[in-house]
């Protein structure tokens, strides 16, 4: 009997399996999405603004594979390492999807022994986070990175990175923003003078990093409870991380009796002062805040760190509020390339990463609200027919237009109605219709119709290409 | 003793492990590569040619995630399914990297209930193949896909896909090429009249697909030996697959006593005739060959299939010969969307995929051979100084230029030598140098130097931006 039951259960499972085939779940993986043509049109606008800025600053562009050897990513991300996507071991190398573009960049520099480059890289990265996708956060998302690698005089490339963030956020007109700046050396010096043991620097830094999402009390109890920091040390940190300001605060801290005695902090504060001098020359200090609570989660930063946040909701008429959060971040990582070099040779680097998903969400909502009509094609002319049996003539004409570089479409019907053809132009924003008809063919002309005005003119066939070019050039 | 030995071995393994850290393998995963700035510049040229063509034909653009639910890819690729990359099960959904852009497109259509779209999609796909990367074949590679979905009159969209392949390959000037065309219905009809049992159609089709890499004798022995086909059936197939030609061959086969009796084959041949009529109107039949040996490996094709091959090596002076292989392929897949639709509703589709890696390899070798100098940045002007202590002035000036949209760079040194600054322009192709010096500052001018001619003129500071624009506009 048991055998028979097992057989029946197996048969049932098979039937269930077949049924399952049709109950297929039709979705993209968790935390990912498709981009529709309309979304792509908005995305292209954002990319163009960013790429234009990167090119304005003389950057080259590179690309790297979407996955790296697993060991390439090991030990670079601190507590965030658990969010890395691994590939299945199907024989051969162990691979992981890239978590950011910075570590692959450092691997690229070490592998090719490059000691001097200014490059940008725009590509998708992957994090097994539990993001609120309604707020424009995803598991698969684009990063737009600009980095300067090389041994240079202090703070000149660092200042340029901040100028770039300022230019891009201004250009995209996302509303008011603030760029918070700090330095890992100032943080480490602060931890030291507050009485944090060396071995706890990184983990306490991770706690400070949560201050943008949690109140101080919670962060403090994480430091004392989970991480075993003394309450006194935590309280001393609590005082420092409240501070933010400009050149005046830097001067004040340079006079701070404890901090000024710490070598690291003093170095960091000296460079911060220099940075602010350069930012003054760039005329952008109005949107920069030296902020001791800024920590940045990643392990590899060694100097200046920064993060840009949007200060208010751009469009008050949007019902679902868009998260007002970080839209760019970066910093200096002088040790990362050396981690990949067989002889540990260092290449100092500083860079910025623009988080375009949030920016994209904001612009998408703005387009929705404004009811702006966005064209998703660039078609200049529809080749149409006024009577039946003119498919051959349409194909002949459109072929001529394509070969002349004109962007042209036809409806894929043998005998489409003229009304349907005109409606297609209305729907998709095609400005011109080239109409072939029996009379026009006899006369050697094509009737050119302007969709917006309904104006129609007969154009000699041999002048048609020039006429379309003239009427659609901007 | 055994215990002690085990302990020692363990210690040794640990030491080995630590040592391994420094012996880190510095490479990209097997079958992948980085793109350097110079390679990116070439890649951009190829992409632009392809995107321009897709836009000329009125296509919208979409994007999908790099991975899909594993079950989305299941049962779509036949014998090639073993080449799919799976992600590790880290809890949650089972995921696979996309194998092509066609299946994600079909999933996108079904999921969004789209029955009518013309779109392109350019993105990387992943195959665990053992490719010869020297011949431009990789495990991570770009596909550039153009597809037309919708219920239309026969062969009009199919003909446009072939026109697109013809335009792109002509535009890229890769040398002579041939587009082979066949139809799955003709193949299946042929299998039927040759005596292949229905159940063996797909697997025998896979064997025929190998004819571009293997001689007929090997393919025949695979059919008879591995796949258990009768020798007589194989020999009958052998006769058909030798045939290739144009309209004349189609007419001949329409008269073939066996084939003309088969419903599927007759349908396929009728449509093939119509296709050739449209291709004649497009004026491209000179490079099209109706070829009964063309099979295409993928399971999902249902009608016309095609593949473009380069016929000869473009540049005889290149030492390492570039593979003369397939650079584009595609076909009609009317059932794929229905596989995703809960009610099995079909959306007929036809599309083409351009394989840019081989094209890119050919163009890269051509650039190497020609010693053409490729600029990797677009910088218009270097802001330089003639004396020391002018960093502040350089920063002030370059900030003005950036804000005016001028592409400008400085060297990241406090006091760079003028010679080094001029050398940098020579190396990177920057055409202009804006030189600030003490005298120029007093006079309210900037010295503008043309790198190519060494000509120098003093320009009033307030006219500098206009002067640079004028001199660098094309």
Q: DSSP states of B26-40 as a string? A: --PPTT---B-HHHH
Best of B84, B281, B404 to disrupt the A interface (most A CBs within 10 Å) is B281
Residue B409, min C-alpha distance to chain A (Å)? 6
B contact test, residue of A412, A425, A429 with most B CBs within 10 A: A412
Residues B377 and B423: their CA atoms lie apart, in Å, by 16
Helices marked H in B57-155: 70-73, 102-111
d(C-alpha A447, C-alpha A385), whole Å: 10
B58 neighbourhood in chain A, CB within 8 Å? 377, 379, 407-409
Position B220 scores a pLDDT of 95
pLDDT, tens digit, for every residue of A347-373? Answer: 999 999 998 988 998 899 898 898 888
How much of chain A, in percent, has pLDDT values that exceed 90? 79
Residues of chain B contacting residue A26, judged by C-beta atoms under 8 Å apart: 107, 110-111, 340, 342
pLDDT category, B456, cuts 50, 70, 90?
A: very high
CA atoms of B175 and B134, how far apart (whole Å): 20
Residue A2 banded pLDDT, cuts 50, 70, 90: confident
Question: CA-CA distance, B266 to B59, in Å (whole number)?
Answer: 32
Is residue B120 within 8 Å of B146, Cβ to Cβ? yes
Q: Rounded mean pLDDT of B372-383?
A: 94
3-state secondary structure of A75: coil
User: What pLDDT, in 10s, does the model give residues B4-61?
Assistant: 777 777 666 655 444 444 567 899 999 999 999 999 999 999 999 999 999 999 999 9
Within 8 A of A129 by CB-CB distance, chain B residues are: none
Question: How high does pLDDT run on average in chain B?
Answer: 92
- The pLDDT of B126-138, averaged and rounded, is 79
Q: Is B413 in contact with A153 (Cβ distance < 8 A)?
A: yes
Residue A18 has a pLDDT of 46
Q: Is A296 annotated as a binding residue?
A: yes
> B56 vs A409: CB contact, 8 Å cut-off?
no
Any binding-site annotation on A108? no
Calculate mean pLDDT across residues B214-225: 94
B344 pLDDT tier (thresholds 50, 70, 90)? confident
Q: For the residues B410-419, what does the mean pLDDT come to?
A: 97
User: Which range is least confidently modeled, A125-129, A302-306, B117-121, B132-136?
Assistant: B132-136
Please indicate if the annotation marks B296 as binding a ligand: yes
Q: How far is A226 from chain B (nearest CA, A)?
A: 26
Q: Exposed, middle or buried: residue B3 (CB in 10 Å: 0-12, 13-18, 19+)?
A: exposed
**Residue of chain B whose alpha carbon sits nearest to that of A343:** B22
Smallest Cα distance from A217 to chain B, Å: 33
C-alpha to C-alpha distances, B383 to A161, A282, B406, B433, B468, nearest whole angstrom:
17, 14, 11, 6, 12
Q: Does the pLDDT at position A116 exceed 50?
A: yes
Residue A78 pLDDT: 80
Q: Å from A190 to nearest chain B CA?
A: 30
pLDDT at A136: 67
pLDDT tens digits for B287-335? Answer: 999 999 999 877 889 999 999 999 865 455 554 444 467 899 999 999 9
- pLDDT score, position A299: 81
Q: Would you say B102 is a known binding-site residue? A: yes
Structure confidence at residue B323 (pLDDT): 44
Q: Are B385 and B394 in contact (CB under 8 A)?
A: yes
Cβ distance of A32 and B282 shorter than 8 Å? no
- Whether the pLDDT of residue A297 is over 90: the answer is no
State mean pLDDT over B271-296.
96
Whether the predicted pLDDT of B136 surpasses 80:
no
Would strands B140-149 and B349-355 be described as parallel, antiparallel, or unpaired? antiparallel
User: What separation, in Å, do the N-terminal and C-terminal C-alpha atoms of chain A show?
Assistant: 82
Question: Which among B343, B377, B407, B433 is the top mutation candidate for probing chain A, defined by the most A β-carbons within 10 Å of its own β-carbon?
Answer: B377
pLDDT of residue A15: 56
Higher pLDDT, B188 or A25: B188
Q: DSSP letters of A227-291? A: T---HHHHHHHHHHTT-EESHHHHHHHHH-TTGGG-HHHHHHHHHHHHHHHHHHHTT-GGGEEEE
> Does the distance separating the beta carbons of B124 and A34 come in below 8 Å?
no
Task: Tally C-beta pairs within 8 A across A and B.
Answer: 234
Q: Which of A124, A148, A156 sits opposite B66 (nearest CB)?
A: A124
Q: How far is B91 from chain A (nearest CA, A)?
A: 10
For residue B151, say whether it is annotated as part of any ligand binding site. Answer: no
pLDDT at position B135 over 80: no
CA torsion A389-A390-A391-A396 (nearest 10°) is: 150
Angle between helices A464-472 and A391-403 (to 10 degrees): 60
- What pLDDT does B322 receive? 45
Which pLDDT tens digit goes with each residue over B88-128?
Answer: 999 889 999 999 999 999 999 999 999 999 999 999 999 99
Q: Tell me the ipTM for this assembly.
A: 0.89
Q: Does residue B348 contact residue B149 with C-beta atoms inside 8 Å?
A: yes
Nearest to A399 among B107, B283, B377 (CB): B283
The pLDDT of residue B240 is: 95
User: Do strands B456-460 and B445-450 pair parallel, antiparallel, or not at all (unpaired)?
Assistant: antiparallel
B301 is in an annotated binding site: yes
Asked if the Cβ–Cβ distance from A62 to B56 is below 8 Å, we say no
Does the distance separating the beta carbons of B34 and A108 come in below 8 Å?
yes
Among the partner-chain residues A36, A64, A412, the one whose CB lies closest to the CB of B62 is A36
Give B124's contacts in chain A (Cβ within 8 Å). 66
User: Is residue A458 within a helix (H) or strand (E), and if so which, with residue range?
Assistant: strand A456-460
Query: Could you say which of A124, A399, A412 has the minimum Cβ distance to residue B157?
Result: A412
Domains and CATH numbers, chain B: 37-369 (3.30.930.10), 381-471 (3.40.50.800)
Q: Does A102 appear as a known binding residue?
A: yes
In this predicted structure, which of A176-190, A240-254, B299-313 has the lowest mean pLDDT?
B299-313
Residue of A nearest to B28 (CA): A68
Q: What is the pLDDT of residues A145-164, one digit of tens each?
A: 999 999 999 999 999 999 99
- B22/chain A closest Cα distance in angstroms: 6
User: pTM for this one?
Assistant: 0.90
Q: Which of B35, B67, B407 sits opposite A58 (nearest CB)?
A: B407
The rounded percent of chain A whose pLDDT value lies above 70 is: 93
Q: Which of B45, B63, B169 is the best residue to mutate to test the A interface, defined by the most A CB atoms within 10 Å of its own CB? A: B63
Q: Identify the residue whose tokens are 């090991």.
A: A74
Predicted confidence band of residue A474 (pLDDT cuts 50, 70, 90):
low
> In this model, does residue B422 exceed pLDDT 70?
yes
Instruction: Of A112-126, A444-458, B285-299, give the lowest mean pLDDT range.
Output: B285-299
Nearest Cβ partner for B58 among A57, A163, A379: A379
Give me the pLDDT at residue A313, please: 58
What is the C-alpha separation between B114 and B105, in angstroms, rounded?
Answer: 11
CA distances from A119 to A125, A150, A191, B37, B360 (A): 17, 12, 34, 8, 21
Where residue A344 falls among pLDDT bands split at 50, 70, 90? confident
Contacts of B259 (CB under 8 A, 6+ apart): B186, B189, B190, B193, B253, B265, B266, B269
Query: B37 and A68: CB-CB below 8 Å?
Result: no
Percent of chain B clearing pLDDT 90 (strictly above): 79
Is B247 exposed, middle or buried (CB count within 10 Å of its CB: 0-12, 13-18, 19+)?
A: middle
**Between chains, do A40 and B60 touch, taking CB under 8 Å as contact?**
yes
pLDDT, averaged across chain A: 92
């Amino acid at each position: 009997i048991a055998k028979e039951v097992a057989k029946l259960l197996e048969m049932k499972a098979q039937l269930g399996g077949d049924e399952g085939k049709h109950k297929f779940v039709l979705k993209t993986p968790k935390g990912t999405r498709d981009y529709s043509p309309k979304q792509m049109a908005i995305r292209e606008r954002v990319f163009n603004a960013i790429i234009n800025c990167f090119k304005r600053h003389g950057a080259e562009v590179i690309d790297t594979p979407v996955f790296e050897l697993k060991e390439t990513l090991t030990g670079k991300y601190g507590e965030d390492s658990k969010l890395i996507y691994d590939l299945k071991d199907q024989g051969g190398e162990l691979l992981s999807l890239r978590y950011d573009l910075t570590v692959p960049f450092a691997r690229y520099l070490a592998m090719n022994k490059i000691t001097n480059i200014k490059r940008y890289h725009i590509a998708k990265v992957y994090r097994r986070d539990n993001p609120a996708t309604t707020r424009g956060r995803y598991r698969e998302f684009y990063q737009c990175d600009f980095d300067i690698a090389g041994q240079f005089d202090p703070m000149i490339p660092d200042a340029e990175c901040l100028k770039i963030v300022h230019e891009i956020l201004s250009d995209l007109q996302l509303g008011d923003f603030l760029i918070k700046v700090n330095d890992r050396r100032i943080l480490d010096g602060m931890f030291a003078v507050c009485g944090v043991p060396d071995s706890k620097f990184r983990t306490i830094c991770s706690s400070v990093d949560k201050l943008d999402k949690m109140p101080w009390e919670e962060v403090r109890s994480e430091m004392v409870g989970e991480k075993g920091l003394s309450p006194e040390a935590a309280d001393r940190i609590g005082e420092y991380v409240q501070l933010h300001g400009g050149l005046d605060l830097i001067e004040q801290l340079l006079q701070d009796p404890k901090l000024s005695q710490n070598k690291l902090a003093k170095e960091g504060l000296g460079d911060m002062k220099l940075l602010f001098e350069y930012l003054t020359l760039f005329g952008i200090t109005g949107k920069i805040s030296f902020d001791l609570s800024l920590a940045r989660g990643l392990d590899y930063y060694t100097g200046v760190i920064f993060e840009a946040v949007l200060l208010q909701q751009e469009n008050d008429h949007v019902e679902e509020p868009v998260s007002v959060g970080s839209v760019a971040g970066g910093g200096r990582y002088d040790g990362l390339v050396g981690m990949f070099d067989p002889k540990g040779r260092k290449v100092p680097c500083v860079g910025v990463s623009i988080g375009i998903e949030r920016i994209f969400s904001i612009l998408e909502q703005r387009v929705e609200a404004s009811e702006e009509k966005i064209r998703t094609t660039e078609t200049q002319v529809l080749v149409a027919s006024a009577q039946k049996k003119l498919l051959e003539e349409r194909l002949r004409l459109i072929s001529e237009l394509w070969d002349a570089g004109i962007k042209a479409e036809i409806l894929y019907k043998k005998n489409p109605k003229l009304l349907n053809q005109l409606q297609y132009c209305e729907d998709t924003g095609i400005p011109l219709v080239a109409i072939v008809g029996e009379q026009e063919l006899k006369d050697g002309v094509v009737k050119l119709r302007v969709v917006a005005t309904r104006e129609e003119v007969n154009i000699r066939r041999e002048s048609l290409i020039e006429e379309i070019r003239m009427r659609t050039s901007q």
